[in-house]
């Protein structure tokens, strides 16, 4: 990106109205479209500065706390990279190694880790009705900590995937789409995206990605088509939001029951497995009661049920139905690729290979999205800040 | 804190006589009261600089090594925060992942990790006669490393809890008391603190906190009243020290056998569970012999014995006996709260809730206490250093 | 080291021809002797700057990723220390906590962790034919990532021990020898080093150290004598390389079958256990087939076989055969010391104790070797860079 484009980008931030300072980022649906555009622009600016070897170390010290209640590679590294890019040190809260396993309350732990923290990123995506609530419990504890004079400043909470949304993923996906369609979010208007279920031999993938996609892409005037087999419904409130957002933005939202129908004339496809809603709910319940044997039973049932839908695979024949047979394929990775990572999966090897590099480019936006969120939550005037970073032009590497 | 107060605090450091450079911090009882006051003042200064967004990054690089041989949240984060605040990077020595499990000696490991380290924080609190000895073994290895020309400089060892003392905790507790009673350690003279055992359904809590409290608070002229059921004695040498310190400082030290007596007219109460001494000793022995079945038996016995003392709970009726019924309640957290974290515990929900925010404030001092210890061990002239940090006023966040 | 010596060292780098920029460091045999000398000189320079409290923070941000597929203390801390010394933040790729356990490909993971990474250090030493191949697979993925425009820059891959070589160890060993023999690598010409197998009660130690030693020391005109019992052969290609290198450098390489013969008139001895080649091969095969019971059987066989060679111990009587009875003893540590860490081991307590401090000094070079490798891979003009670090003289600690 040539220098005048960065300046242009920074200047264009001024046109947007936003209020991130001191705010958590828990759901994209709680933010205005201006705010979502701010995140994307700032992510682009941070990446441009990085590519031009300009330091964006805005913190001289401070912790970025990560709490992963589920496995993670890309989000873990995106968070670590983002923290590092801004000058923060990532510190994991490992529940096994901590006194949490000795019975600390969420409120108490939230205080104990936060005295010198700038942000807390949380992944908690396994149980319906739990993950986002947990984040809000942490957030309330931090509010109380500030009110009570315990915390000298309040770290922000960033959702690194919950039961409802996966905002750093969906924003990276969106930013990828914006660039794919020429750089202006306006170009997304009227484009069709097929968010469809796909078969996977695995069990219990969270609903957060499809929910995140339908509630975000409808904000930008896209025609969102959701497809899944019977029983694989998403959470009702996210469906209602998608409808409402589509109505506001001039896009549309419809639910269909076949990949064929969803892919028809699509500009973008996002075929991905998730668990049936009833399975997720029952599992949450059984886990609470610690009925581990019944969970195994449930898992077996779920896999049998899944197996009825092996035909839900994104392959070349389906891709032919899309806009000129050339829809952009999205995936949050890792994908279950037929004959590669499993016998039968979400996507055929030929389709995945065609778009593999594109999925890596899609993933590349995530560290910058996270960095933008961290920065916005802790600086009152981010526009002046990045402008001054650009003008100072301190080298990131070299002396 | 207004600017002139920081300057005043920095200036007041000059009045104190101390010798921390290159010294480990293993027991508060080995330090002079001037030195203990230095730690507290410096902790206050570092926090003031933090609150005023002034960078205290005195290290441009360097490792702060942490070795936790027991679970930890607050001490882990306090150490990570302190290291980060000064510019160090925390690196954990995880015995599972290291060659220690392949049979390295303590001496050898101490050398191998220390070439570029500035400090080594150790928690080793599970076995009587072991933890502090282990720290001293590490310290001797470091001494030899310098003498032999292997180490270019000597990292300091900081006790993050051992079998004898928990100095970063007791100093945070003390600093909290100093602020609670108006900011001058002299005000502690003649104040009564009840350090009492309290019932917990758990087993095997270390003796380090009560031992740390009785050997530290007696230094500052407090009247320390220790209470516990029969069989829950503390280590004899710490009792002797408490007696001697009380004699020197004009305070007092007595052992009584009921909470009621201990709480009577107390200004401060610190009710907390710990394991019976004989249990800790036997466990240490059994662990050495790897007699895991006998340990389970011992644990069962211990819990049965504990259960005889369920009445040792800090509740509202007991609190009424204290100074105007308003003694300050201390706890190192997490506390076992009756009907909240367990059926019957160390403290009633009503008392804990009344003082909950106070216990968080108490905990807040710990990262700064640790940072003060790290800084003092590695700089010959800490007064000039912090004065220059204050004058430079480099922003900690922002550019 | 007095200032003019650092300047001299920096200036002498200019005499050497090297091409490290953007290159991985996977085997010493792939580098020219000029390049190997560059690493050693730069390691010495970095250490001198450290000792003189001059900052070598050449990265303002960036990740140094570590992937340890086997236990490690000294290499883990060497890598962490090196990264920190240059301003990078170490981030471990823990396969248990990541989606790798969910079936990510090596190629995909390599991309996902690398967006903001500067270097990737890998230890993968357990399986013949696997470790170095794995590193090359990661390296190819990174090449593709740059070619495809996914990665904005390419992190380098550094071998932290594989099935073939252990270059950061052997270079530290070599640097130790250079200093021991007066500081000029030319002095190594004609010196005899005995790289011999030694008995250990443990099983399955990698072949990488002896292979690394015979392929490196033959580069510098040493007379390398390899000794081991029948069946404990090293990988054929490394033997061929050692022969060829000896021919080129004017040194020699011979294989003998007793410690006595190997130690005869040696200037340096490196007695160390490793697994029989056939055991390593079979184990690799069995692990692939997940035949865990057969592995236990194999282990038992191997230990029985090992036991036949208990006499292969480095002791005082053997040492008498060496050059004036005063050969330098090397070990990568931890050593199996007879009557200390085991009943019978690689070295007698008397010999080890005589050289213990020397082995620590040997180990001390490793963090600086790693730092030199990181720096060389990412800077086009390292000579100007370190010269400017020296001239600027920014204090590493203090303000």
C101 and chain A in contact, CB less than 8 A: yes
User: Which tens digits make up the pLDDT trace of A287-300?
Assistant: 888 888 888 888 88
Chain C residue numbers with beta carbons less than 8 Å from the beta carbon of A395 are 60
**Per-residue pLDDT, B136:** 97
Q: A334–C152: do the CB atoms touch at under 8 Å?
A: no
Q: Given 3-state DSSP classes, what are the helix, strand and coil percentages for chain C, each rounded to the nearest 5?
A: 50, 15, 35
Q: C73–B100: do the CB atoms touch at under 8 Å?
A: yes
**Per-residue pLDDT, A291:** 86
Chain C residue numbers with beta carbons less than 8 Å from the beta carbon of A85 are 61, 116
Which of B57, B21, B16, B30 has its CA nearest to residue B159? B30
Partner residue opposite B397 with nearest CB, options A59, A91, A97: A59
The yes-or-no verdict on residue B376 having pLDDT over 60 is: yes
**Per-residue pLDDT, B80:** 98
Chain B residue numbers with beta carbons less than 8 Å from the beta carbon of C90 are 89, 91
C102 and chain A in contact, CB less than 8 A: yes
Q: B399–A378: do the CB atoms touch at under 8 Å?
A: no
Backbone angles phi, psi at A82, to 5 degrees: -65, -45
Q: C89–A80: do the CB atoms touch at under 8 Å?
A: yes
**Per-residue pLDDT, C99:** 61
Chain B residue numbers with beta carbons less than 8 Å from the beta carbon of C84 are 61-63, 89, 91, 116
Spatial distance between the Cα atoms of A66 and C154, rounded to a whole number of angstroms: 26
Subunits with 3+ Cβ pairs within 8 Å of C are A, B
Whether ipTM > 0.90 holds is: yes
Q: Which chain C residue shows the shortest CA-CA distance from B93?
A: C73
Q: C76–B62: do the CB atoms touch at under 8 Å?
A: no
Which of B251, A215, B92 has its CA nearest to residue C94? B92
Tokens linked to B292: 């895991």
Say whether domain B3-164+366-392 belongs to CATH 3.40.50.40: no
Query: How confident is the model over B235-247, as a mean pLDDT?
Result: 98
Structural contact between residues C171 and C39, judged by C-beta atoms closer than 8 angstroms: yes
Residues 6+ away with beta carbon under 8 Å from B226: B195, B196, B210, B214, B234, B242, B253, B254, B255, B256, B262
Number of A–C residue contacts, CB under 8 Å: 110
Backbone angles phi, psi at A89, to 5 degrees: -110, 125
- Please tell me if the domain spanning C3-164+366-392 has the same topology as the one spanning C168-362: yes
A93 and chain B in contact, CB less than 8 A: yes
User: Which tens digits make up the pLDDT trace of A207-234?
Assistant: 999 999 999 999 999 999 999 999 999 9
C385 and chain A in contact, CB less than 8 A: yes
Strand, helix or coil for residue C140: helix
Helices (H), chain C: 3-13, 33-51, 74-86, 106-114, 131-147, 167-180, 208-217, 236-249, 259-263, 277-288, 292-307, 316-319, 349-378, 382-392
User: Which tens digits make up the pLDDT trace of B124-180?
Assistant: 998 889 999 999 999 999 999 999 999 999 999 999 999 999 999 999 999 999 999
Which of A66, A61, A64, A113 has its CA nearest to residue A87? A61
Number of A–B residue contacts, CB under 8 Å: 110
C-alpha distance from B1 to closest chain C C-alpha (Å): 23
A63 and chain B in contact, CB less than 8 A: yes
Query: How confident is the model over B186-195, as a mean pLDDT?
Result: 98
The answer to whether the bond into B95 is cis (omega within 30° of 0) is no
**Containing H/E element for C89?**
strand C89-92
Residues 333-362 of C with CB under 8 A from B: 333-334, 336, 341-342, 357, 360-361
A73 and chain C in contact, CB less than 8 A: yes
Q: Which chain B residue shows the shortest CA-CA distance from C355?
A: B148
Q: Which residue has the tokens 């170095």?
A: C132
User: Which tens digits make up the pLDDT trace of A131-164?
Assistant: 999 999 999 999 999 999 999 999 999 999 999 9
Spatial distance between the Cα atoms of C77 and B98, rounded to a whole number of angstroms: 10
User: How far does Cα A85 stand from its chain's mean position?
Assistant: 19
Residue A94 pLDDT level (bands cut at 50, 70, 90): confident
Domain boundaries, chain A: 3-164+366-392, 169-362
CATH number of C168-362: 3.40.50.1370
Residues 207-236 of B with CB under 8 A from C: none
Q: B80–A59: do the CB atoms touch at under 8 Å?
A: no
**Per-residue pLDDT, A105:** 86
**Per-residue pLDDT, B231:** 92
The yes-or-no verdict on residue A100 having pLDDT over 70 is: no
Question: Between the CA atoms of B271, B274, B277 and B278, what dihedral angle is there, to the nearest 10 degrees?
Answer: 130
Chain C residue numbers with beta carbons less than 8 Å from the beta carbon of A68 are 97
Query: In terms of pTM, does the model score above 0.95?
Result: yes
**Percent of chain A's residues with pLDDT above 70:** 98
Q: Which residue has the tokens 């009875």?
A: C325
Spatial distance between the Cα atoms of B131 and C377, rounded to a whole number of angstroms: 43
**Per-residue pLDDT, B102:** 57
* Residues A156-173: b if buried by 16+ CB within 10 A, e if exposed: bbbbbbbbbbbbbbbbbb
**Per-residue pLDDT, B285:** 86
**Percent of chain B's residues with pLDDT above 70:** 98
Residue A103 pLDDT level (bands cut at 50, 70, 90): low
**Percent of chain A's residues with pLDDT above 90:** 83
**Per-residue pLDDT, A71:** 80
**Per-residue pLDDT, B101:** 52
Q: C115–A364: do the CB atoms touch at under 8 Å?
A: yes
User: Which tens digits make up the pLDDT trace of B15-61?
Assistant: 999 999 999 999 999 999 999 999 999 999 999 999 999 999 999 99
B146 and chain C in contact, CB less than 8 A: no
Mean pLDDT of all residues belonging to chain A: 94
User: Which tens digits make up the pLDDT trace of A30-85?
Assistant: 999 999 999 999 999 999 999 999 999 999 999 999 999 888 888 899 999 999 99
Chain B residue numbers with beta carbons less than 8 Å from the beta carbon of A152 are 47, 50-51
**Per-residue pLDDT, B343:** 93
Burial class (CB in 10 A: 0-12, 13-18, 19+), A374: buried
Which of C108, C165, C93, C94 has its CA nearest to residue C140? C108
Lowest mean pLDDT of A7-11, A95-99, B196-200, C136-140, name the range: A95-99
Q: A398–C385: do the CB atoms touch at under 8 Å?
A: yes
Q: Which chain C residue shows the shortest CA-CA distance from A335?
A: C104
Using alpha carbons, list the distances in angstroms from residue C315 to B103, B329, B344, C328, C336.
21, 63, 63, 13, 13
H, E, C per residue of chain B: CCHHHHHHHHHHHCCCCCCCCCCCECCHHHCCHHHHHHHHHHHHHHHHHHHCCECCCCECCCEEEEEECCCCCHHHHHHHHHHHHHCCEEEECCCCCCHHHHCCCHHHHHHHHHCCEEEEEEECCCCCCCHHHHHHHHHHHHHHHHHCCCCCCCCEEEECCCCCCCHHHHHHHHHHHHHHCCCCHHHHCCCEEEEEECCCCCCCCCCHHHHHHHHHHHHHCCEEEEECCCCCCCCHHHHHHHHHHHHHHCCEEEEECCHHHHHCCCCEEEEECCCCHHHHHHHHHHHHCCCHHHHHHHHHHHHHHHHCCCCCCECHHHHCCCHHHCCEECCCCCCCEECCCECCCCECHHHHHHHHHHHHHHHHHHHHHHHHHHHHHHCCCHHHHHHHHHHHCCECECC
CATH number of A169-362: 3.40.50.1370
**Per-residue pLDDT, A1:** 64
**Per-residue pLDDT, B180:** 98
Residues 34-53 of A with CB under 8 A from C: 47, 50-51
C-alpha distance from A102 to closest chain B C-alpha (Å): 8
Subunits with 3+ Cβ pairs within 8 Å of B are A, C
Which of C105, C89, C67, C94 has its CA nearest to residue A72? C94
Burial class (CB in 10 A: 0-12, 13-18, 19+), C371: buried
C-alpha distance from C334 to closest chain A C-alpha (Å): 27
Chain A residue numbers with beta carbons less than 8 Å from the beta carbon of B202 are 102
Mean pLDDT by 10 residues, chain C (399 residues): 84 96 98 98 97 97 94 90 98 77 79 97 91 96 98 97 97 98 97 98 90 98 97 96 98 97 98 90 85 87 91 98 98 95 95 98 98 98 97 94
Query: How confident is the model over B82-104, as a mean pLDDT?
Result: 82
Chain B residue numbers with beta carbons less than 8 Å from the beta carbon of C398 are 58, 379, 385
């Amino acid at each position: 990106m040539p220098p005048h484009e960065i300046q242009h980008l920074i200047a264009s931030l001024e046109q947007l109205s936003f209020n991130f300072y001191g705010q958590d980022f828990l759901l994209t649906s709680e933010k205005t479209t201006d705010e979502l555009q701010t995140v994307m622009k700032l992510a682009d600016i941070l990446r441009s500065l990085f590519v031009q070897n300009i330091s964006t170390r805005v913190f001289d010290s401070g912790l970025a706390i990560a709490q992963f209640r589920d496995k993670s590679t890309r989000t873990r590294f995106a968070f670590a990279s983002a923290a590092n890019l801004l000058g923060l040190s990532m510190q994991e809260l490992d529940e096994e190694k901590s006194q949490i396993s000795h019975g600390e309350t969420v409120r108490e732990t939230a205080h104990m880790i936060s005295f010198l923290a700038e942000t807390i990123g949380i992944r908690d995506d396994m149980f319906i009705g739990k993950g986002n609530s947990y984040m809000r419990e942490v957030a309330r504890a931090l509010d109380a900590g500030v009110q009570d004079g315990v915390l000298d400043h309040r770290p922000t909470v960033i959702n690194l995937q919950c039961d409802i949304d996966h905002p750093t993923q969906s924003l990276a996906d969106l930013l990828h789409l914006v660039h794919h369609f020429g750089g202006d979010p306006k170009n997304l208007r009227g484009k069709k995206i097929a968010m469809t279920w796909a078969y996977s031999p695995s069990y219990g993938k969270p609903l957060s990605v499809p929910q995140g996609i339908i509630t975000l892409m409808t904000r930008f005037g896209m025609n969102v088509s959701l497809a899944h087999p019977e029983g694989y419904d998403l959470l009702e409130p996210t469906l209602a939001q998608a409808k409402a957002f589509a109505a506001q933005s001039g896009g549309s939202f419809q639910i269909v029951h076949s990949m064929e129908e969803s892919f028809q004339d699509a500009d973008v496809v996002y075929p991905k497995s998730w668990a049936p809603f009833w399975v997720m709910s029952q599992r949450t319940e059984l886990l609470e009661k610690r009925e581990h044997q019944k969970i195994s039973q449930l898992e077996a049932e779920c896999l049998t049920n899944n197996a009825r839908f092996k035909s839900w695979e994104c392959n070349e024949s389906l891709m032919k139905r899309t806009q000129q047979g050339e829809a952009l394929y999205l995936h949050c990775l890792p994908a279950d690729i037929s004959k590669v990572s499993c016998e039968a999966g979400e996507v055929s090897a030929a389709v995945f290979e065609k778009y593999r590099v594109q999925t890596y480019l899609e993933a590349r936006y995530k560290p910058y999205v996270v960095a933008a969120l961290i920065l916005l939550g802790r600086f009152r005037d981010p526009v002046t800040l990045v402008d001054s970073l650009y003008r100072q032009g301190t080298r990131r590497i070299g002396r």
